[in-house]
Amino acid sequence: MKVVISIGGSVIASPKPNVNYIKNFSQLIKKLTTEGHDIKVVVGGGAIAREYIQALRELGASEDYCDKSGILATRLNAMLISAAFGVYKDIPEDLNIKCSDIFIIGGIKPGQTTDAVSAEIAAKCKADLLINATNVDGIYDSDPRKNPSAIKLKEIKSEKLIELVEQVHKAGLSTIIDPVAAKIIHRNKIRTIVLDGRNLESIEKAIKGENHGGTLVS
């Protein structure tokens, strides 16, 4: 399978780099690759991105400038993942490269999160599956951090996902999937699974078509 994994910065580096997790994640990707899967990894910014964005806002920076700092944070986190594979190349800064040259990447441009980058790659490379590995175990009918009665959805249609997510992008946006990504997923009919990335077994099960405990976007 061709798989794009969007791994949240909140999973690998919040509040500081989780070296053990990063090592285990890289081992899983190596294992899946030896089994014949083509894996591409997109890395988010997490806490460090939001901390810099908030500081810049307090200093009067524009949203575009704040977004650029968040993108730098995603690339910093991507360097951690890359190092775990023994790959010390520069992190790509755009998608004007062949699919075969995409392995580990972070943010690209203001106005979207790495969710959108992963969706763009999934569309560009005709991926069989997009996995959004975050710090929430799926998509809920409302924000579970604000509503303890929120219900997790086993499956959701992509058009309903667009209605559910926050529609206005701002730097440091923290949502289950950003609005740009939701529209790309819908437009390109990308099979997507949102799951708890802290559980590496869930990622492996999703790729192997087993019960992953997350939410399928169809």
**What predicted TM-score, i.e. pTM, was given to this entire model?**
0.93
Q: 150: helix, coil or strand?
A: coil
Distance between CA atoms of residues 206 and 211, nearest Å: 7
Give the E-state strand segments of the chain in sequence order: 2-7, 38-43, 104-105, 129-134, 139-140, 152-153, 155-156, 192-196, 215-217
pLDDT band at 177 (very low <50, low <70, confident <90, very high): confident
CATH number at residue 146: 3.40.1160.10
pLDDT band at 197 (very low <50, low <70, confident <90, very high): very high
Query: Residue 214 in contact with residue 193, Cβ under 8 Å?
Result: yes
Total domain count for the chain?
Answer: 1
**Two tokens at 18?**
């989780």
Q: For residue 62, give its domain range.
A: 2-217
